[in-house]
Amino acid sequence: MKMKHVFYAVLLVVLIWICLPENIPVHFRVQKSKIDFTINPLSINTSLFGVPIKKEFKTKLGLDLKGGSHLVFETDTSKMKPADLQDSLLSARDIIEKRVNFFGVSEPVVQTLKSGNIYRISVDLPGIEDVSQAVGLIGTTAQLRFMEEGQVDPKIATTTPIINRLTKYTGLGGKDIKKASVTFDSQNGQPQVALQFTPDGAKLFGDVTGRNVGKPVGIFLDYFPISAPTVQQKITEGNAVITGNFTVEQAKSLSISINSGALPLPIKLVEQRNIGPSLGALEVKKSLIAGVFGLAMVLLFMVVYYGKLGIIASMALIIYGLITFAIFRAIPVVLTLPGVAGFILSIGMAVDSNILIFERIKEEMRKGKNFSVAVRLGFGRAIDAIKDANITTLTVAFILFNPMNWEFLPQFGMVRGFALTLAIGVGTSLFTGVVITRRLIDAFYKEKKINK
Amino acid sequence: MIKFLKFTWLYVLISTLVIGSGMYSIIRYGFTYSIDFVGGSDIEYQLDKKTDLKKVAEIVKSNKIETSQLKLEKNNLFFKAKPIDEKQEAKLRGALETNLKLKIKTLRFETVGPVIGRETMQKTLIASFLATLGILIYMSFAFKGLNFALAAILAMIHDFLVVIGTYSIFSHFFGAEIDTMFVTAVLTTMSFSVHDTIIIFDKIREYLKNEGRGDITHYANRALTETMVRSLNNSMTIMFMLLSLTLLGGTSIRFFVATLLVGTITGTYSSPFIATPILVWLEKGSKKS
């Protein structure tokens, strides 16, 4: 019996530790020694049987609360073979992720969404302020293309500039390039960009140069000509250089945009949501105060109306809040405004479980049963209603959360955030409403009997 | 025991009045849809000093941005416009800053393409429909009969109508918009409504099980009498929470919480006064046939 109590106490301490607020500095004096530390939630960094375990229990806030940008790009798949579609989507996703990381955003989320036969890529950039720069960076479809002369009327051919005659795409592009780097011309020291082709690319490049000896081949980036050298001979070793009147900076940025990869599909920005960080912070603070105030009212009401049982219910409710919050931090669940709403609704339902149980207990007592029998019967009777009510709520939450990511259901974050916290909250309340309230009643009333 | 069902005419009257005025408002004023569903741009700027709205409007116009709404509250400037991209936004902000000689902080800038908006609307409708179907199936099993499920669903539809009707009034008088948050609130109301109904139906189910098929009206009245305290207490606790959020919480969730408040009230009301009479009526009907 004693061991059990110690176990519960330890569990409670860990629970509270996980739920502690973040970064609260504490300064105080005990006699003469000054104590100075910062309160932080539990973080584990250890290894168990050689497996490293690292976990920080911190609240993750969504873009609407923390500020940041949510961008959705629509891909143009019209020129894509169905067989290549998935691969190019995934590689586009990876490239965007690379570019975003390059921009220094912490914890970006990049994912592909399918809707009918439209494919989209959504990009979440928490805490970013300069959106146009980010959009610019992601959106630059650094499509490198090698162009050759198309069919041109020989009469005009001599009068139009070379660049305008290079109208035929050779099929050789950014995807065939393994690496681009800045080098310097050995003769005049001019910066230039050296390209190294993939094996396939090298073969293709050999073909292209082979059939264009003595003719110009243009190198275009996003339809802008960079240079149009005339081919001297067939090049088979898979290397090429782009020369031009580059400064070192220009050569560097060109090599970066080639390296960070040409997107295999053209993309277009169709949705963007940018929330400034100050708006979110204010909302969180206000809602937090309101939430605490509301919860206090609920607890007060329970104690006033149900007396001793109300105190037990309040304790169960506080434990419920701690467990749910600990789960949010452990998974971790990204909290958004609708997510907070889901949590609040689930608190309401947790309170309801307790009220249901108490009303049933009272009912049994009115029938003349003694307290311990009334508790047992009351719990048994209430459990059916609680189970059915909560399972319907869970069903709704499940459909809204759309766990299989079906395309005909909402795939956007807001509704899903709501559904997730609601589901976790209701699931936990099934546990606390029944198990913990029961334990608490047993503990408190039994001890009292012994005392008598 | 209180004979709640004697006053069914009163409940019908109240519901008809509330839903009727809501429907009137929907037909007369309609809704304002947010960019979530119809596409467009939504901008909120914080200005460092006061300015004249007319001047702002001129600058916006000269930037060729079609606004459907332009509002100045204290030093916060709100726009709604046809979709613009981040470059146009930056240009507009620059123009405002130089011409009006002030500093602007972008609090929010959202743009949704019209196609996405339409899709969101469709998907949300499908999800709500599936959720309803899920409730219907689960309840038919749990209560071993379609009547319980049907009555719960009809009460849920009642609450749905009350909420959207009220929102149309909010929309007309306070500028509330139909957005994702509203949809979340409606879905919450719907699940709360069923949750609340189940508690009462559970009682009736228990009587039917323990005492056999007796007079359904009698059982219903008894169930209502016994659950009334619980219903009121439960709604009260939720309302404490929501009232506190409405009065103290942030502005961006105000309409959301207000909708939840309406939803809680109608959800609590409909379980004893709409769902239960419907159940009694359905049970009586199926007994006769």
B267 vs A139, more confident: B267
Q: Per-residue DSSP letters for A274-324? A: EE-HHHHHHHHHHHHHHHHHHHHHHHHHHHHHHTHHHHHHHHHHHHHHHHH
pLDDT surpasses 80 at A209: yes
Number of Cβ within 10 Å of residue A440's Cβ equals 18
Distance of CA A377 to the CA centre of its chain: 46
| Residues A348, B237: C-beta atoms closer than 8 Å | yes
Q: Tell which CATH architecture fits domain B40-112.
A: 2-Layer Sandwich (3.30)
Q: Which residue has the higher pLDDT, B68 or A278?
A: B68
Token output for A274: 């940018």
Instruction: Quickly count helices (H) and strands (E) in chain A.
Output: 14, 17
**B188: chain A residues, CB-CB within 8 Å:** 341-342, 345, 418, 422
In this predicted structure, what is the pLDDT of residue A439? 81
Task: Specify the pLDDT at position A1.
Answer: 58
Q: Which two tokens stand for residue A51?
A: 């497996």
pLDDT for position A451: 46
CB contact under 8 A, A298 and B237: yes
- Tens of pLDDT along A260-273? 555 667 777 888 88
Nearest CA in chain B to A344: B241
Residue-range domain boundaries for chain B = 4-35+116-288, 40-112
Nearest to A401 by CA among B38, B3, B184, B285: B184
Predicted local distance difference test score (pLDDT) of residue A413: 63
- Say yes or no: do domains B4-35+116-288 and B40-112 share a fold: no
Helix, strand or coil, per DSSP, at residue B45 = strand
The closest alpha carbon to B110, from B32, B173, B62, B179, belongs to B179
Whether residue B30 contacts residue B23, with contact meaning beta carbons closer than 8 Å, is answered with: no
The per-residue pLDDT for A450 is 47
The residue in chain B having the minimum alpha-carbon distance to the alpha carbon of residue A348 is B238
- Asked if residue A170 lies in contact with residue A146, where contact means CB atoms within 8 angstroms, the answer is yes
B237–A302 CB contact, under 8 Å? yes
* CA-to-CA dists, residue A83 to A262, B61, B224, angstroms: 19, 47, 62
Q: What is the pLDDT of residues A360-376, one digit of tens each?
A: 888 888 888 888 888 88
- Per-residue pLDDT band for A392 (boundaries 50, 70, 90) equals confident
Q: Name the β-bridge partners of A115.
A: A118
Name the percent of chain B lying above pLDDT 70.
99
Tell me the shortest Cα–Cα distance from B109 to chain A, in angstroms. 5
The CATH-assigned architecture of domain B4-35+116-288 is Up-down Bundle (1.20)
In this structure, what token pair is assigned to residue A39?
A: 């309160």
> Where in chain A is CATH 3.30.1360.200?
156-252
For residue B239, what pLDDT is reported?
83
A269: nearest CB among B85, B203, B237: B85
Query: What pLDDT score does A222 carry?
Result: 57
**DSSP assigned state of B213:** S
Instruction: Name the B residues in 165-184 with CB < 8 Å from any A CB.
Output: 180-181, 183-184
> Would you call A274 and B110 a contact, using CB atoms and an 8 Å cutoff?
yes
| Residues of A in Cβ contact (< 8 Å) with B195 | 349, 352, 389-390, 392-393
> What is the pLDDT averaged over residues A275-295?
75
- Fold classification of A156-252 is Gyrase A; domain 2 (3.30.1360)
Which chain A residues are Cβ-neighbours of B46 within 8 angstroms? Answer: 276, 278
Cβ-based contacts of A393 with chain B (< 8 Å): 191, 194-195
Residues of B in contact with A349 (CB under 8 A): 195
A389–B199 CB contact, under 8 Å: yes
Q: Which residues of B touch A279 (CB under 8 A)?
A: 44, 107-108, 252
pLDDT of residue A373: 85
Q: Which residues partner with A196 through β-bridges?
A: A179, A239
Interacting residues of B12 by C-beta distance below 8 A, sequence separation 6+:
none
At residue A422, the pLDDT reads 87
Rounded Cα gap, residues B125 and B222, in angstroms: 37
Rounded-to-integer distance, Cα B248 and Cα B236, Å = 18
pLDDT at A126: 79
* pLDDT tens track for A341-361: 788 778 877 888 888 888 888
Record: contact B131-A399, CB cut-off 8 A: yes
Q: Best interface-test mutation with B: which of A130, A274, A320, A354 has the largest number of B CBs within 10 A?
A: A274
Contact B181 A337 (CB under 8 A): yes
Which residue ranges of chain B lie beneath pLDDT 70?
Answer: 250, 288-289
Do A399 and B139 make contact, defined as CB atoms within 8 angstroms? no
Write down the residue that tokens 């168990």 correspond to.
A48
Protein fold of A63-141+267-272: Alpha-Beta Plaits (3.30.70)
Give A-chain residues touching B126 at CB under 8 angstroms: 408-409
Q: Do B244 and A271 touch (CB under 8 A)?
A: no
- How much is the CA Rg of chain A, to the nearest whole Å? 32
Residues of chain A with CATH 1.20.1640.10: 277-451
Question: CB–CB of A395/B131 below 8 Å?
Answer: yes
Q: In B, which residues are within 8 Å of A294 by CB distance?
A: 240-245
**What whole-number distance in Å separates Cα of residue B32 and Cα of residue B231?**
34
Whether the pLDDT of residue A258 is over 60: the answer is yes
The per-residue pLDDT for A262 is 57
Q: How far is CA B199 from CA A436, B152, B283, in A?
A: 21, 11, 18
Is the Cβ of B228 closer than 8 Å to some Cβ of chain A?
no
The percent of residues in chain B predicted with pLDDT above 90, rounded, is 15
Taking only the tens place, the pLDDT of each residue in A404-416 is: 667 666 666 677 8
Chain B: residue whose CA lies nearest to A412: B120
CB-based contact A277:A83 (threshold 8 Å): no
Residues A133 and A103: their CA atoms lie apart, in Å, by 9
Summarize the confidence of residues A318-339 as an average pLDDT.
Answer: 84
pLDDT of residue A452: 41
Q: Under 8 Å CB-to-CB from B92, ≥6 apart: which residues?
A: B59, B60, B63, B65, B84
Over range A224-237, report the average pLDDT. Answer: 75
Q: How far is A150 from chain B (nearest CA, A)?
A: 35
- Buried b / exposed e over A371-384, threshold 16 CB at 10 Å, is eeebbebbbebbbe
Chain A touched by B27 (CB under 8 Å): no
Q: Which two tokens stand for residue A309?
A: 């049982």
B44: closest CA of chain A, how far (Å): 9
Q: What percent of chain A has pLDDT over 90?
A: 0
Short-list B163, B33, B126, CA closest to A400:
B126
Closest residue, chain B, to A131 (C-alpha): B86
Q: Find out whether A71 and A283 touch, Cβ atoms under 8 Å.
A: no
* Spacing of C-alpha A271 from chain mean position: 17
Q: How many Cβ atoms sit within 10 Å of the Cβ of residue A410?
A: 24
Contacts of B245 in chain A (CB under 8 A): 287, 290-291, 294, 344
CB contact under 8 A, A392 and B198: yes
CATH 3.30.70.3220 in chain A, residues? 63-141+267-272
Q: Quick one: average pLDDT of A279-301? A: 79
Whether CATH 1.20.1640.10 fits A277-451: yes
The residues pairing with A230 across neighbouring beta strands, listed in sequence order, are A216
